[in-house]
Amino acid sequence: MVYWNKIAKQVISKIEEWIKNRKLDSWFFIIAWPKNIWKKTLIKKVIKNLNVLEQDKLFIEDPGKYDGKFYQIKIDVDEKDKIKEIWDKKYLDLGARQIADFVSKTPVGEYKFIFIENLERVNNSAWNSLLKILEEPPKNTFIFASTSNKNKLLTTILSRWTIINMFELNKQDFKTFLDENMIVLDDHKFNILYAISGWRIWLAKKLLEENNDLLDKIEEFLELSKLKKITNRFNLLKELITNWKINLFLDWLIFYYSHTDNFNKVDKLIDIKIKNQANVNLENLLFEYLI
């Protein structure tokens, strides 16, 4: 159960029902705001429930959430650049023309589904190539997209899409989710998990499932941060960074310090992310952060 999106989930279930009952021939939906709250997961469930064939699905995920870079969706992409590999995972990086070409073909099965993650990545020129699809949608073709900032989308685009807004998870719903999944934490660890995940269940589950003692080590680091043992803090932080994806870990700390209103540290961590992408020595950045 995705508690904090009950209404959004009901809307998507209704859309799924309309598709099954042939009440919709084609449509375009944007699931809006914020990041990491399972927008994509809900759409995957719709596709699974509708038994959409593999050759009738096009998923354009945003690899930038893993390596921190900005991957713009352009008009066209060379054949050699269509697949990007980040941390042993492959991503489709298609342009507007490739998307339009996929949409124009008749589905093998009953439906054709396209999902575009972070729609704000589409540049203005690429939108012009997609406008014909939006104005004359092929039958039995459904396009879903997500965005964490719908204010970045053009008015001409928003006017052609149905917007489904999703909202934050409050603390009690977050706890209920953990309880129903038999995840037992003491109050202190619960508060840390809630803060470092930015109340996003996806991030919380990833932390708990992939490394059993990671939460303990983060708790230890946060406790050490209250003291002046720079060497201990540096060694532990270095261990955490070494054993975890740097950008995701930094995001956890940013969420935590945002939640606790320590915006001075938030600014420092964001600066580390920017400089790390510019290949500045990470150990030096971490040491500067701690002092």
pLDDT of residue 2: 44
Q: Is the pLDDT of residue 98 over 70?
A: yes
- What pLDDT score does 233 carry? 75
Instruction: Find out whether 42 and 9 touch, Cβ atoms under 8 Å.
Output: yes
Query: Which of the four pLDDT bands, split at 50, 70 and 90, describes residue 55?
Result: very high
Q: From CA 196, how far away is CA 26, in angstroms rounded? A: 39
Is the pLDDT confidence value at 56 over 90? yes
Is the per-residue pLDDT at 226 higher than 80?
no
Residue with the bigger pLDDT between 242 and 231: it is 231
Mean model confidence pLDDT for the chain: 79
Contact (CB, 8 A) for 9 and 40: no
Q: According to CATH, where is 3.40.50.300 located in the chain?
A: 3-165
Residue 3 binned pLDDT confidence (cut-offs 50, 70, 90): very low
Dmax (CA) of the chain: 65
Query: Does residue 118 have a pLDDT over 80?
Result: yes
How far, in Å, CA of 91 to CA of 48, rounded?
20
| CB atoms near residue 143 (< 10 Å) | 23
Residue with more model confidence, 219 or 50: 50
By C-alpha distance, which of 24, 17, 28 is closest to 99?
Answer: 28
Is the pLDDT assigned to residue 228 strictly greater than 70?
no
1 band by pLDDT with thresholds 50, 70 and 90:
very low
Quote the CATH superfamily of domain 3-165.
P-loop containing nucleotide triphosphate hydrolases (3.40.50.300)
**What percentage of the chain exceeds 70 in pLDDT?**
87
Q: Residue 26 pairs with which residues in a beta bridge?
A: 141
- pLDDT band of residue 225 (cuts 50, 70, 90) is low
Which has the minimum average pLDDT: 15-19, 85-89, 111-115, 185-189?
85-89
Strand order in the sheet with 162-165: 57-60, 112-116, 141-147, 26-32, 162-165
Residue 217 pLDDT > 50, yes or no? yes
170 — pLDDT class (breaks 50, 70, 90): confident
- Overall average pLDDT of the 155-182 stretch: 77
Tell me what pLDDT residue 219 has: 80
What are the beta bridge partners of residue 122?
73
Contact (Cβ atoms closer than 8 angstroms) between residue 146 and residue 30:
yes
Comparison of pLDDT for 57 and 25, the residue scoring more? 57
Provide the pLDDT confidence category of residue 57 given band limits of 50, 70 and 90.
very high
The pLDDT of residue 244: 62
pLDDT at 31 over 70: yes
Q: Using the predicted structure, report yes or no on whether residue 36 has a pLDDT greater than 70.
A: no
Give residue-wise pLDDT tens across range 79-97: 777 777 776 677 777 888 8
Given a cut of 80, is residue 139 above it in pLDDT? yes
Q: What CA–CA distance (Å, rounded) separates 31 from 40?
A: 9
CA-to-CA dists, residue 21 to 13, 29, 140, angstroms = 12, 18, 12
Confidence of residue 227 (pLDDT cuts 50, 70, 90): low
CA 74 to each of CA 80, 93, 128, 130, 136: distance values in angstroms, whole numbers, following the listed order: 15, 9, 11, 11, 21
Q: Decide: 153 and 120 in contact? Cβ < 8 Å.
A: yes
